[in-house]
Amino acid sequence: MAEDNLILDFEGRRMPYSVEAEQAVLGSILIDPQSINLVATELKPDYFYIPQHKEIYRVLSSMLELGGAAIDFVTVLEKLKSAGVYDEAGGKAYLSQLANAVPSSANILTYVSIVRERYYVRSLMVAAQGIIKDIESNEKESSALLESAEQKIFDIRSGIDTTGLTHIRDVIIGETFDRLGKMNDPETRNDYIGIPTGISALDRVITGLNKSDMIILGARPGMGKTSFALNIARNVAVNAEKTVCFFSLEMTRDQLAQRMLSSEAAIESQKLRTGELSNDEWTRLVQAGENLSKANLYFDETSSITVPEMKAKLRRMKKVDLVIIDYLGLMHSSRKGEVNRVQEISEITRGLKVMAKELKVPIIVCAQLSRATEGKTVKSHKPSLADLRDSGSIEQDADIVLFLYRDAYYDSEKADDQERSDPNKATCIVAKNRHGSIEDIPLYWDGAHTRFTSQDVYH
C-alpha cells in the first residue's frame, strides 16, 4: 500500500487519508459483490474521505440493504448517474479504475481497517481543534471544558456522527430495518426490546425499559419509591442478567444492600437492623447474598453528584443497561448558586435526558412530589403531573412518568370509626407515556420485606 495522502483542512492543518485503501475497498466490492457482506457492519460511508468514494459506497450499501438489483458494473453506474455523482463517460472510467485497483478481494478487511483508522484520526484532529478553540475563547469554566472535551472523545469512540444531518434513507436502511431485523431474531431479540421491570402489568403498558428513555418515578416521602426502584434494579440485574448502576444521593450502599437482602431473603428489614436472626434466617440471608453477588449491580453513594460527573462514571463502565438515580431533589448543577432552583432542576432534567440518549440506556429518576397531594380530599390524594416539585421541565423532559400511591398511607387522616385501607394494596400510576396509554397498575406492597410485586403473584 502506498504512503498516506495528506491534504490541508480549512485551517491549514494536514488531514490524513489513504486514497489507495479507499479505492481498494470499493474495487474489492465491484469485483466480488459478496465481499460487502464482510464489511457492511464495519464500514460507514462517512469513513471515506473522498466525496465520490462516500457516494459510491453509499450506493453499494443501499443496493445490498434494499435487496434490489445485483451489484455489478452496469447497475452501480446507473445508480451513480441517477444520483448525479458521475456522467456516463466519467463513471465508466472511474469504476474501471477501481475494479483494476486490486487483484482480488482477499484483503478487503485490511483495506477497511486502514480507511476506518484514518477516519478516527481525522475525527480526533477535528475534536482537538474544537477543544483548543474552546480553551482559547476563555468563555467556559474548567469543569465545562473537561465535560466538552470528554464528550467529543466519547462521540468518536462511540462512532457517533455529529457533523451534520442524516437522510431518512440512511436512517431506515442503516438503523430502523437493522433494529427490526434483530428484534425478530431469537438470538439478538433481547438486546433490542425493552428490558422487563419484573412487573408484568407495567411492562405491558410501557413496553419495558427502553433505551434512551428518561423515566420519572414520583411519590411522597415514605410511599416506597426507593424500594420500588431497588425492586426494579434487582429484577433487571438478576432476572434479565443486565448491568445496573444505582446512584443513591440519600442512602448509603450498606443501607441499599440491606434492603435488597431483606427483600431477597424474605426477612423483615427490622431484623437486619438489630441482627437478631434465627439459624434459618441466617441460611436464607447467606443464600440471598450469594444470589445478589452474582448480579451486575453497582452502587454509587456520592452526595450532590452532577450530571457530568455521573456521565463520566458511566462512560468508564464497559457496559450499562439501566441507570437509576435516587433522587432528583438532591442533585445539583454545575451552576449552583447562579440560577434559581427551578432553572437548576430544568438544567438537570435536560442533562439527564441527553445522557440517556447519548449512552443509549434507560434512566429511572426518583422524584419527590409536592405537599399539594396532602391537601387534597381523601378521595383525590392520588398524585398528578402537576404535583411534580420544582419545575415543569421534569414532566416535559420525561418520556414516562410513574407515580406510586397507597391508600393506607393516608389512614392517619381517617376518623376512628372509618374503615382502614388494605395495607398491602398499592398502585403504580402511569401518568405520562410516550409509547402508549396511561393506566393505573395494581401492585402488592410487602412492607415487612420492602418490596412491590405484581398483584397476580399473590392472587
For the chain, 459 residues long, give each residue's pLDDT as a single digit of tens: 444 555 555 455 678 899 999 999 999 998 888 888 888 778 888 899 998 999 888 888 777 755 555 777 778 888 788 777 787 787 788 888 988 888 888 999 999 999 999 999 998 988 888 889 889 888 877 877 887 787 788 777 766 554 556 778 777 877 788 888 888 888 888 777 889 999 999 999 999 999 999 999 999 888 999 999 999 999 999 999 999 999 999 899 999 999 999 889 888 888 888 888 888 989 999 999 999 999 999 999 988 788 888 888 898 888 899 999 998 988 887 666 667 888 888 888 988 998 999 889 999 999 988 776 665 554 567 888 888 866 677 888 899 999 999 888 887 666 565 677 788 899 999 999 998 899 999 999 988 888 898 876 544
C-alpha cell at 424: 398491602
**284 within 8 A of 266, measured Cβ to Cβ:** yes
CATH number for the domain spanning 30: value is 1.10.860.10
- 42: containing domain: 5-154
Asked if residue 170 belongs to a domain, the reply is no
145 exposure class (CB count in 10 Å sphere: 0-12, 13-18, 19+): middle
Check whether residue 340 and residue 432 sit in a common domain: yes
Check whether residue 107 and residue 227 sit in a common domain: no
Backbone angles phi, psi at 454, to 5 degrees: -65, 145
Check whether residue 97 and residue 239 sit in a common domain: no
Asked if residue 173 belongs to a domain, the reply is no
Check whether residue 123 and residue 263 sit in a common domain: no
One DSSP character per residue, 176-224 reads IHHHHHHHTSTTTGGGTSPBP-S-HHHHHHH-SB-TT-EEEEEE-TTSS
> Measuring CA to CA, which residue among 73, 68, 56, 71 is closest to residue 173?
68
User: Which residues contact residue 228 at a Cβ distance below 8 angstroms, ignoring those fewer than 6 apart?
Assistant: 217, 219, 404, 428, 452
Q: What number of residues does the chain have?
A: 459
Helices (H), 304-421: 307-315, 341-359, 393-397
> Measuring CA to CA, which residue among 275, 238, 241, 273 is closest to residue 254?
273
In the chain, the number of structural domains is 2
Check whether residue 94 and residue 213 sit in a common domain: no
Check whether residue 136 and residue 272 sit in a common domain: no
Strand, coil or helix: what is 51? helix
Asked if residue 162 belongs to a domain, the reply is no
Check whether residue 54 and residue 111 sit in a common domain: yes
CATH number for the domain spanning 306: value is 3.40.50.300
d(CA 346, CA 365): 14
The CA-based angle 201-207-211, given to 5 degrees, is: 140
**196 within 8 A of 210, measured Cβ to Cβ:** no
Check whether residue 147 and residue 210 sit in a common domain: no
Check whether residue 276 and residue 383 sit in a common domain: yes
Question: Could you say which of 154, 178, 202 is where a domain stops?
Answer: 154
d(CA 17, CA 121): 9
